[in-house]
Structure 1
Amino acid sequence: MTDPILMRRAEAVRHFNRFYTQHIGVLHEFLQKSPFSLTEVRVLRELALGTVSTATELARTLGLDSGYLSRVLTSFERRQLISRRQSEADARQSLLAMTPVGRAAYAPLEVAALDEVRGVLSALSAAGQEQLLEAMRVIERLLDRTSSRSPVLLRAPKAGDYGWLVHRQALLFEAEYGTDPRFEAVASQEIAQFVLQGDPERAMCWIAEQRQSIVGGAIVAALSEGTAGMRLLYVEPESRGLGIDTLLVTQSIGFAQRAGYEKLVLTTCGALDDGREVFERAGFGCVGTEPERRFGRNLLTKTWERTL
């Protein structure tokens, strides 16, 4: 690894890993002063939840070596914590189930684990708890390869979301195009004007949310009596290619039509031909292209229009 930025980020991840594992106490040989290791508790939890029924499913869900898992399950069976029976659908598979003895052994572990987490949360304010949960949701969304299959919800903004839209777009635009702080100032003005107008019949903001984490957004507001403008359309980099931009554009078109506008206009300001395919599929045409110096960079400004 020779990239100094990537090296610095890798070290930051390792630092967090050390901190977190020490904080939750998983370096201890046994958990909750019980005879079960952390891995054994994870296996018991999956069986207690009933989300898996075979060793193959357990190994896939928990990312465990099949040989190691087999030894764990054999130990559980010997201690009468689980039972096995042959699957009628596939004779090669055994269906696993917790016994009453197993449920009785796992129950106090679940209670103790919840008490431990409540203890951690109770040391934080309500705002701190929400900040911690949001950070965890972001980590899970970014690292879980199945996140892309999770449904996307479009909702109205909640407290803090307008500021979040400005915050994220300022960071992303600076990272992708190297813009200066003037972009953030312009985005803040756009949001402030939208909020202060406060006309739900003629203006709307959508927050795209996936797994309780914001992955995009857009606003539509009046430019004139017959023309609406779509502003601050964005999708998080790791969520691009999932159709979220198309969903936001489609919602914007539908709202503008219902609000009685005759035309919907949007402007892109990027170094590349951003969004062209999405806009053209949605019926927009490019009516103007102009290279200009904005936000400390040479950018290509394009104006797109769609008759409603």
Structure 2
Amino acid sequence: MTVQDVRAFNRFYTQLIGALDYGRHLYAPYSLTESRVLYELAHAEGADAADLRARLDLDAGYLSRILNKFQDAGLVERGPSAADQRRRRITLTARGREAAALLDERARRTVGALLDTVPETDRPRLAEAMRTVRSILGDGAAGAPGEVVLRGPRPGDLGWIVQRNGALYASEFGWDATYEGLVARIVADFAAQHDPRRERVWIAEWQGRAVGCVMCVRDDAGPDTARLRLLLVEPEARGRGVGDRLVRAVTGFAREAGYREVVLWTNDVLAAARRLYRRHGFVLVAERPHHSFGKDLVGQDWRLELS
């Protein structure tokens, strides 16, 4: 990627946003910056001027003029901050909340109209691409605080496993819908019949959303063999030890459940996953080329003996 690539994307996106606001009614009667200030006030109750200035990267004098205009129009009220008497707390009035809600509704309708032009089959790729850009360029999500929690699946999580596997592997490796079909069958079999004492699914949750998953099931080789399946970590959660915790959850559970070994099947293109498996003691025992999911791949069987 070059500087020109980024600039070309910026021009494209700027033109797209301008086209969405054809007629210049989206923010009326406010400017774009004034609309941003209203949005922040509506979503950060009790902000002060210093917070707004830092969050929006605005000149202090410019922000002060906007807030004076809003106060004259009856959109905001100012008062002393409970945390610091030297600061001024800014809150929206009822009229200000109505103005912010109107702008938000206009934006929702406009973006909704744009998404209506995107085929359903392309929307997962679009969402994944947006998450990738935000994660790589550092909007703060990748480094935001918060503990990753492993939990059991809730209603809807099994469907999420299917959807995210299909979307993520299509985006990162170009795999076709036959992989999503395979995942759907694996998940459906688990949902229809599994032994909770010896089979389990884990969901990794971070900041209130699912960012990873893995499954431990009994293998067809026999009652002493467990199989690790469908390990996935969302791009924005990588580098936080999520994959390590998910693999450790499987191996720990397998030991407690009485299995003597854990096996798994993966492909050579999944380099990060293979490094993770090796780090946890898995050994590559076989590999063979195959054509699956629309690609020529090399499948690999890995095995971990449980002491």
TM-score (norm 2): 0.68
1:96 alignment partner AA = R
CA displacement at 1:303 relative to structure 2: 1.0
Are 1:110 and 2:97 counterparts?
A: yes
Which residue of the partner structure matches residue 128 of structure 1?
Answer: none
- For 1:136 and 1:106, the matched residues in 2 are separated by 35
Which residue of the partner structure matches residue 269 of structure 1?
Answer: 267
Are 1:198 and 2:194 counterparts?
A: yes
- For 1:251 and 1:23, the matched residues in 2 are separated by 55
Gaps of 5+ in 2: 113-125
Are 1:305 and 2:304 counterparts?
A: yes
CA displacement at 1:233 relative to structure 2: 0.5
Contact kept, 8 Å, 1:177 with 1:297, in 2: the verdict is no
Closer, same or farther: CA 74–43 of 1 in aligned 2, 3 Å:
farther
- For 2:88 and 2:194, the matched residues in 1 are separated by 57
What SS does the aligned partner of 1:146 have? coil
Gaps of 5+ in 1: 125-134
**251-260 vs 76-85, which deviates more?**
76-85
Counterpart of 1:97 (choices 86, 89, 99) is 89
Aligned residue runs from structure 1 range 1-308, under 5 A: 17=17, 26-30=26-30, 37-42=34-39, 44-45=41-42, 49-50=45-46, 52-53=47-48, 55=50, 57-73=51-67, 81-82=77-78, 94-98=86-90, 106-110=93-97, 113=100, 143=134, 145-148=139-142, 149-151=144-146, 152-223=148-219, 224-282=222-280, 284-295=281-292, 296-308=295-307
2:63 alignment partner AA = L
Closer, same or farther: CA 217–67 of 1 in aligned 2, 3 Å:
same
Q: Residues 233-255 of structure 1: CA distance to partner in whole angstroms, max 9, x if unpaired?
A: 01123432222211211222232
CA displacement at 1:220 relative to structure 2: 0.7
Contact kept, 8 Å, 1:142 with 1:238, in 2: the verdict is no
CA displacement at 1:280 relative to structure 2: 3.4
Contact kept, 8 Å, 1:220 with 1:231, in 2: the verdict is yes
CA displacement at 1:268 relative to structure 2: 1.9
Contact kept, 8 Å, 1:26 with 1:38, in 2: the verdict is no
Q: Residues 87-114 of structure 1: CA distance to partner in whole angstroms, max 9, x if unpaired?
A: 989xxxx51224xxxx5x6233225655
- For 1:200 and 1:172, the matched residues in 2 are separated by 28
CA displacement at 1:204 relative to structure 2: 1.0
TM-score (norm 1): 0.68
What SS does the aligned partner of 1:147 have? coil
Which residue of the partner structure matches residue 120 of structure 2?
Answer: none
**140-149 vs 183-192, which deviates more?**
140-149
Indicate the percent of aligned positions where both proteins have the same amino acid: 27
Number of aligned positions between the proteins: 281
Q: Residues 23-46 of structure 1: CA distance to partner in whole angstroms, max 9, x if unpaired?
A: 996421249xxxx94245346547
Contact kept, 8 Å, 2:27 with 2:35, in 1: the verdict is no
What SS does the aligned partner of 1:190 have? helix
Which residue of the partner structure matches residue 116 of structure 2?
Answer: none
CA displacement at 1:174 relative to structure 2: 3.6
What SS does the aligned partner of 1:299 have? strand
Q: Residues 10-60 of structure 1: CA distance to partner in whole angstroms, max 9, x if unpaired?
A: 7985687457767996421249xxxx94245346547x723x4452x3222
What SS does the aligned partner of 1:49 have? coil
Contact kept, 8 Å, 2:79 with 2:89, in 1: the verdict is yes
* Root mean square deviation, CA, Å: 4.6
CA displacement at 1:71 relative to structure 2: 3.2
